[in-house]
């Protein structure tokens, strides 16, 4: 398995897609039930293959990621060959970016000495999708990129 198995909830949400996946292998419901009962290891392999296919599609389409922690916000722009990052760090220990007040504080203090901003870029080490998956495993979430684009626009001007 290249990534990780989808959760039960994710499989339930992708129920129709899984049925279509099995159908591409000429497996109908009766056949699937038989596989689960008689060859559970084969059923497990099918679940893993389907999970990897879903992850591959999600990661291929991922353009932006965000990772919030108490004092840091990591913003990533996932391009084809490299990943760009903007890291915002609150130097005041009582600020918590996980709370609405922390984000308001950031808005009010963005360009003061109370916030450090670091900009970087890095070529992917290995496959792009594997690198993005690692960031997600570490706590990043997929994003529409609005925050990255806003902060980047402010920094560039």
Kindly state the percentage of the chain with pLDDT values over 70. 100
Q: 79-132 pLDDT, tens per residue? A: 999 999 999 999 999 999 999 999 999 989 988 999 999 999 999 989 999 999
Confidence class for position 48, pLDDT limits 50, 70, 90: very high
Q: Where are the domains of the chain?
A: 8-60, 64-156
Q: pTM here? A: 0.87
Residue 12's pLDDT is 94
Distant-in-sequence, close-in-space partners of 103: CB < 8 Å, separation ≥ 6: 97
Interatomic CA distance for residues 53 and 99, integer angstroms:
35
Whole-number mean pLDDT of the chain?
95
């Amino acid at each position: 398995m290249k990534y990780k198995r989808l959760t039960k909830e994710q499989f339930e949400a992708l129920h129709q897609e899984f049925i279509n996946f099995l159908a591409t292998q000429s497996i109908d419901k009766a056949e699937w039930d038989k596989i689960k009962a008689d060859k559970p290891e084969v059923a497990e392999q099918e679940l893993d293959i389907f999970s990897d296919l879903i992850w591959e599609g999600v990661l291929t389409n991922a353009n932006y990621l965000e990772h919030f922690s108490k004092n840091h916000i990591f913003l990533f722009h996932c391009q084809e060959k490299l990943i760009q990052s903007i890291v915002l760090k609150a130097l005041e220990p009582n600020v918590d970016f996980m709370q609405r007040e922390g984000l308001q504080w950031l808005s009010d203090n963005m360009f003061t000495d109370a916030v450090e901003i670091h900009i970087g870029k890095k070529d992917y080490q290995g496959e792009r999708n594997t690198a993005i998956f690692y960031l997600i495993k570490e706590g990043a979430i997929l994003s529409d990129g609005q925050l990255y684009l806003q902060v980047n626009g402010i920094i560039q001007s």
